[in-house]
Structure 1
Amino acid sequence: MTSAEHDQAALSPAAQVTITGRNVDVPEHFQERVNAKLAKIEKLDPSLNSFHVELQHEPNPRREAQAQRVQITATGKGHLARAEAKEDSFYAALESAVGKLERSLRKVKVRREISRSGHRAPKGAGQVAAELAQEAEQTRQSEGKYDVDPYAGQFEDFEPGHIVRNKLHPATPMSVDDALSEMELVGHDFYLFIDAETQRPSVVYRRHAFDYGLIALAPEAEIPAVPAE
């Protein structure tokens, strides 16, 4: 292996990388930038075995500042992580999407460390969790909760109140901790799953900072009566 080939290998992830463009050609120098960024991401989760990066140009004159879209989907052993960003250039969108993906993977890593240590997390893990929560809050404030429309450009005539998308997911039972990790990895504010302990359809959702909520469905007979005031 030559020196140049060795340097190129060092800047490429071991996982499989697929880069596609919708309405745009992907130049070689951009592919090299993608590989270099993903090589760093891969170190956060060695179980990742593939990355799919999609570029899309959205020709909307009213949204020129968000015309270039980059979506990164990373898959591993039984889990998936996704991040998306829209900017005025593909390079800026790549930086933003990689940053989101990195934050998600770091949050899940800390969450698993806290879970393994029990309810009373060591001080070090608690400090890291607090820092990540603060960083996530700053990111939400700077980007805006509704800045990215996941369905933008997919529907020409939109009528409010209609179901615009249907999705089916496998109902594999999992623990609440695993559901929280999956929610962080896909970058959503909620996650629907079957609770392995209760076998009930349940939803975990994001509340404030590093706090979460849990909602579960149960037969009416199993729900405790609310005492009258």
Structure 2
Amino acid sequence: MVVGGRNVEIPDHFRVYVSQKLARLERFDPTIYRFDVELEHEPNRRQKKSCQRVEITARGKGPVVRAEACGDSFYASFESVTAKLESRLRRVKDRRRIHRGSKTPVSVAEATAPLALPDADRAEETDGYDVGDEHLPGRIVRTKVHPAEPMTVDDALYEMELVGHDFFLFHDKETDRPSVVYRRHAFDYGLIRLE
């Protein structure tokens, strides 16, 4: 478990609280080897009710599962984000189970084995924040680089739902080009392909 903060000091009693809460989530996926917990404080006084943001990323053998929440305190935000993460981990566990009678479908592990999902350790991430810097608009403050294995649109939608983002950039297996799936307003999805 890695607990970090952006311009926030993290007390020891909060670290103990986080480790106790996250120990309960390991029952959903025993292959989880690391939880990344990031705390951030929004200094804008007008956003007082949602100024404490907590983000948790669970890394294991399968896909990366991520959730974030905002609240008026780090404890309230942490309770909300653990509920979201528990729901997503439960969904992943439930998806692996067989739901039909005598005909056994292909398990998720067998179906995704040839895809060779990106290794969480190979992903590079750099933050552009320094302690003394002000946040200026129009600046790139974070860059993430991930290895891109070709995948189908259904696999990309599955990955997008697990991470909890509104869009997902992927290498389309059909067209052999970069594509984006995104969430629309009426609980449906969109697809953008480059020509």
Summarize the alignment of residues 157-168 of structure 1 with structure 2, pairs less than 5 Å apart.
157-158=136-137, 164=140, 167-168=144-145
Please show how residues 1-229 of structure 1 align to structure 2 within 5 Å.
Answer: 17-77=1-61, 79-111=63-95, 156-158=135-137, 164=140, 167-207=144-184, 208-209=186-187, 211-218=188-195
The offset of 1:198, in angstroms, is 4.2
Change (3 A) 1:83 1:172: same
Q: Does the CA contact (< 8 Å) of 1:195 and 1:202 recur in 2?
A: yes
Q: State the SS of the aligned residue for 1:102.
A: helix
Deviation at 1:186, TM superposition (A): 1.7
More helix as a share of residues: 1
Aligned-pair CA distance for 1:212: 3.3
Closer, same or farther in 2 for the Cα pair 1:156/1:26, shift >3 Å?
closer
Alpha-carbon spacing, 1:45–1:198, altered in 2? closer, same or farther (3 Å): farther
How far apart are 1:90 and its partner, in Å? 0.9
Deviations 1:88-140 (A, max 9, x none): 111001011112222333344455558x97xxxx9xxxxxxxxxxxxxxxxxx
SS of structure 2 residue aligned to 1:72: strand
**Alignment match, 1:226:** none
Q: Hey, what's the Cα distance between the residues in 2 that align with 1:94 and 1:78?
A: 24
| Deviation of 1:179 (Å) | 1.6
Report how far residue 38 of structure 1 moved: 1.2
3-state secondary structure, aligned to 1:32? helix
Distance 1:167 1:50, change over 3 A: closer
Give the direction of change, closer, same or farther, for the CA distance of 1:105–1:78 in structure 2 (3 Å limit).
closer
SS in structure 2 opposite 1:204? strand
Contiguous gaps of at least 5 residues in structure 1: 1-16, 123-153, 219-229
TM-score, with structure 2 as normaliser? 0.67
- The letter of the residue matching 1:72 is I
Shift of 1:50: 0.3
Structure-1 separation of matches of 2:32 and 2:86: 13
- Supply the AA of the counterpart residue of 2:146: H
Whole-Å separation in 1 of the counterparts to 2:96 and 2:183 = 17
Q: CA RMSD in A?
A: 3.0
Structure 1 residues 23, 181: closer, same or farther in 2, change over 3 A? same
Percent pairwise identity = 57
User: Please, which runs of 5 or more residues in structure 2 have no aligned partner?
Assistant: 106-132
8 Å contact from structure 1 (residues 111, 181) kept in 2: no
